[in-house]
Chain A
Amino acid sequence: MQRDPQSLRYSQLFLVPEREPNGPLLPSDLNFHLLRQVHPDHLTNDDWIDPLVFKPNSSDFGLASKQIRENPVANRLGLKPGQAFVLYTEPPPDGHGNTSIGVVAISTAAAHLAEVPPHADALGDDPFHACLDWRGLDGSSKAKKRDRSLARATLLDSAEDIGRWQHGPVVP
């Protein structure tokens, strides 16, 4: 993965261990959907989302979490949006106890277009966990900021293309 040599890596910025995705690169497919939880801070006045919902947070070290959506037609195992929401929000031991108001979906084709490669990334308690690898867009240069902004716009386009909310929004 090419990186801006002048930039700090996410692991250096946030003092967390860097790791690689646990699974292979996912194919570019308009019907291969990845689910994304939406924090209430990213809800906009028009009941839609801020593109920053796709920005990796400090604990992601460049690998932004998603979940693979099931697709019975393609014989693809995964979670329904409602299931992903419950897993994310229910307190332990049933879930992870995080905050979300709903679920949107993006396609792996959009992730490839945005140059944030989608990977399978199964975790112990979340076998359908996936991630988008933002490390190739890491850096503080103007060009990298532009590329990240456009990548988020592309992912937002995909979420709109798929039909906006796949679960919720459940406004508290």
Chain B
Amino acid sequence: MTKLTLRGSCLDDGPEWNSDVPRWSTHDRLHDDVFALLADIDSQLCEVDALRDAAIAEVVDASEDPIPQVSIDRAKSIIGQIFASDCVLSKAYVDEAGLMLRWAKGAWRFTAIVGEESDDLTIQAVRFSPNIRLIFVPDAAGSAVAEVLTALPRA
């Protein structure tokens, strides 16, 4: 079974972009944004219960290892639902990482990279306000990793 891992990071008040530092336990504002974000995705894409529940469990237990897991099959299921619903593919092209599929839904813009391997699937979701980016991506071991990169606008 492949797995998804959820990680978090944010732009702090300083100038450095700390993309690798989990900050769930120290940024209440980030927690709030993540909840709002997941609720938004949930309402728009439906069927993200596992991801949402995993994230909620992770945030609640932020002092422990912040790596909840759900399956890549779930991510694929989401993709299938996107293109089976009223989402319209806006652009398809090939970039160095593979076939790129782009679409938009509400305030969100999505990009999927479909690679050669059966599990080679990356999904990025971006919303420019409030500056949030999510990446669902397989890791080097063949497991699937979902990274949540959250950049908060400066106060």
- CB of B96 within 8 A of CB of A149, answer yes
Tell me the complex Cα distance, A52–B154, Å: 29
- CB of A145 within 8 A of CB of B96, answer yes
Is B86's beta carbon under 8 Å from chain A?
Answer: no
Q: Which of B7-53 contact A (CB under 8 A)?
A: 11, 15, 17, 19
- CB of A110 within 8 A of CB of B128, answer yes
Partner of B100, one of A24, A107, A153: A153
- CB of B122 within 8 A of CB of A115, answer no
Given contacts A52-B95, A112-B11, A28 and B151 within 8 Å (CB-CB): yes
- CB of B95 within 8 A of CB of A152, answer yes
Q: Which of A12-34 contact B (CB under 8 A)?
A: 24-25, 27-30
Q: Which of B119-151 contact A (CB under 8 A)?
A: 122, 124, 126, 128-129, 131, 133, 135, 137, 140, 149, 151
Contacts of A115 in B (CB 8 A): 17, 19
Q: Which of A95-116 contact B (CB under 8 A)?
A: 107, 109-110, 112-113, 115
- CB of A28 within 8 A of CB of B93, answer no
Residue total for B at the interface (Cβ-Cβ under 8 A): 28
Is A117's beta carbon under 8 Å from chain B?
Answer: yes
Tell me the complex Cα distance, A152–B23, Å: 26
Is B97's beta carbon under 8 Å from chain A?
Answer: yes
Contacts of B135 in A (CB 8 A): 150
Partner of A150, one of B124, B128, B151, B154: B124
Tell me the complex Cα distance, A86–B11, Å: 36
Is B74's beta carbon under 8 Å from chain A?
Answer: no
Is A154's beta carbon under 8 Å from chain B?
Answer: yes
Tell me the complex Cα distance, A30–B154, Å: 11
Is B113's beta carbon under 8 Å from chain A?
Answer: yes
Given contacts A28-B131, A28-B151, A154-B124, A51 and B17 within 8 Å (CB-CB): no
Tell me the complex Cα distance, A115–B124, Å: 13
Binding site for A on B (CB under 8 A): 11, 15, 17, 19, 93, 95-98, 100, 102, 109, 111, 113, 122, 124, 126, 128-129, 131, 133, 135, 137, 140, 149, 151, 153-154
Binding site for B on A (CB under 8 A): 24-25, 27-30, 50-52, 107, 109-110, 112-113, 115, 117, 142-143, 145-146, 148-150, 152-154, 156-158, 160-161
Between A and B, 22 residue pairs with Cβ closer than 8 Å are A25-B15, A28-B131, A28-B153, A29-B153, A30-B153, A50-B93, A51-B93, A107-B128, A109-B153, A110-B128, A113-B131, A113-B149, A115-B19, A142-B97, A145-B96, A148-B96, A150-B111, A152-B95, A153-B124, A154-B124, A157-B128, A160-B109
